[in-house]
């Protein structure tokens, strides 16, 4: 991709992340603590425990508004965190100040596609729901590996998405069921279906050829590395542990409109259905990996 096009797109990406706000008509699991705990709680606690075991000095990639970095500082880690969006970094600093954890966590703006990281400095590099947005993932992972001390750990929770069939079924159920987004607005979303269904290869072709087919209109790098993250981590690191979770119902759970009293109970049932799908051999849309620098 030409430098000028990359510059325009990455600025657009940074603006998107700086301005994105919770939308009550399109609720997300991570904006609702109880829903997050039902679907991601067990895996997130495991993620934290493995980071605790990896050592004191931690680098977080794509830290967003600093939820994880502040939690890690609270647990006694020394955290350096970075993100593409200056607004998000500003909010992360405010969060750390609010928790009077400014010594344990430092925040900086940085683009993982081009960043140079310090050498052999960290016991652990972590990323939560961030790497699937990184266009030059080879570069970011090489830098992450170099930034680790010998034997250091890369610990990641990220998104690999659902298969095309599963996405089509999820979109059909979303269209049919009563959701927080009214039917009239959902009908307009049919124009976004090709973006929702586009695999990584199609998005990459569009970025290279100057097309917009399959790209998210506000976030051009959305899901750009979803299908290659695991492969690229495995190429560079020795895997200590890997598993996937949340294969299907996690997607619909926050969006379906239910009486408040039933919302969380119904979500627990949907989560149990997800657990059942995993036990039948279905791959989750999210994964956990702990990998070692050897």
Ligand X SMILES: C[S@@+](CC[C@H](N)C(=O)[O-])C[C@H]1O[C@@H](n2cnc3c(N)ncnc32)[C@H](O)[C@@H]1O
Instruction: Give the separation between CA 136 and CA 157, rounded to whole angstroms.
Output: 18
3-state SS string over the chain?
Answer: CCHHHHHHHHHHHHHHHHHCCCCCCCCCHHHCHHHHHHHHHHHHHHHHHHHHHHCCEEEEECCCCCHHHHHHHHCCCEEEEEECCHHHHHHHHHHHHHCCCCCCEEEEECCCCCCCCCCCCEEEEEEECCHHHCCCHHHHHHHHHHHEEEEEEEEEEEECCCCHHHHHHHHHHHHHCCECCCHHHHHHHHHHHHHHHCCHHHHHHHHHHCCCCCCCCCCCCCCCCCCCHHHHHHHHCEEEEEEEECCCHHHHCCCECCCHHHHHHHHHHHHHHHHHHHHCCCCCCEEEEEEECC
Smallest distance from ligand X to CB 269, Å? 26
Smallest distance from ligand X to CB 129, Å? 4
Smallest distance from ligand X to CB 281, Å? 28
Nearer residue to ligand X within complex by CB, 106 or 175: 106
Nearer residue to ligand X within complex by CB, 95 or 175: 95
Smallest distance from ligand X to CB 84, Å? 4
Interaction site with ligand X (CB under 6 A): 13, 17, 62-64, 67, 83-85, 88, 111-113, 128-130, 133-134, 221
Nearer residue to ligand X within complex by CB, 52 or 175: 52
CB-nearest residue to ligand X: 64
Nearer residue to ligand X within complex by CB, 37 or 111: 111
Smallest distance from ligand X to CB 272, Å? 25
Instruction: Give the separation between CA 281 and CA 175, rounded to whole angstroms.
Output: 27
Are 147 and 59 in contact, with CB atoms under 8 Å apart? yes
With a CB cutoff of 8 Å and minimum separation 6, the contacts of 232 are: 137, 138, 141, 225
Smallest distance from ligand X to CB 280, Å? 28
Smallest distance from ligand X to CB 31, Å? 10
Nearer residue to ligand X within complex by CB, 127 or 230: 127
Smallest distance from ligand X to CB 137, Å? 10
Nearer residue to ligand X within complex by CB, 11 or 276: 11
Are 82 and 60 in contact, with CB atoms under 8 Å apart? yes
Nearer residue to ligand X within complex by CB, 44 or 180: 44
Nearer residue to ligand X within complex by CB, 88 or 293: 88
φ, ψ for residue 135, nearest 5 deg: -70, -50
């Amino acid at each position: 991709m030409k430098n000028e096009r990359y510059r325009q797109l990455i600025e657009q990406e940074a603006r998107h992340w700086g301005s994105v706000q919770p939308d009550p008509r399109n609720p997300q699991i991570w904006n609702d603590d109880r829903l997050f705990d039902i679907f991601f709680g067990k895996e997130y606690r495991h993620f934290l425990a493995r980071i605790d075991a990896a050592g004191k000095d931690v680098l977080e990639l794509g830290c967003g508004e600093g939820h994880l970095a502040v939690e890690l500082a609270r647990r006694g880690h020394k955290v350096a965190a970075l993100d593409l969006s200056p607004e998000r970094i500003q909010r992360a600093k405010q969060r750390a100040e609010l928790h009077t954890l400014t010594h344990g966590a430092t925040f900086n703006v940085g683009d993982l596609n081009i960043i140079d990281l310090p050498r052999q400095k960290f016991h652990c590099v972590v990323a939560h729901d961030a790497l699937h947005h990184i266009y030059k993932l080879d570069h970011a992972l090489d830098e992450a590996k170099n930034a680790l001390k010998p034997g250091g750990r890369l610990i990641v929770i990220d998104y690999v998405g659902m298969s095309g069939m599963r996405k089509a079924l999820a979109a059909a159920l979303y269209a049919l069921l009563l959701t927080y987004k009214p039917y009239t607005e959902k009908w307009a979303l049919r124009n976004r279906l090709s973006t929702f269904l586009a695999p990584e290869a199609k998005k990459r072709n569009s970025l290279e050829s100057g097309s917009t087919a399959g790209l998210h209109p506000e976030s051009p790098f959305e899901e750009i590395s979803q299908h290659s993250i695991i492969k690229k981590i495995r190429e560079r690191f020795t895997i200590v542990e890997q598993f996937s979770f949340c294969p299907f119902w996690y997607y619909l759970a926050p969006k379906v409109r239910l009486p408040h009293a039933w919302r969380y109970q119904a979500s627990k049932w949907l989560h149990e259905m997800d657990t059942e799908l995993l036990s039948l051999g279905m791959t989750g849309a999210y994964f956990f990996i702990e990998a070692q620098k050897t």
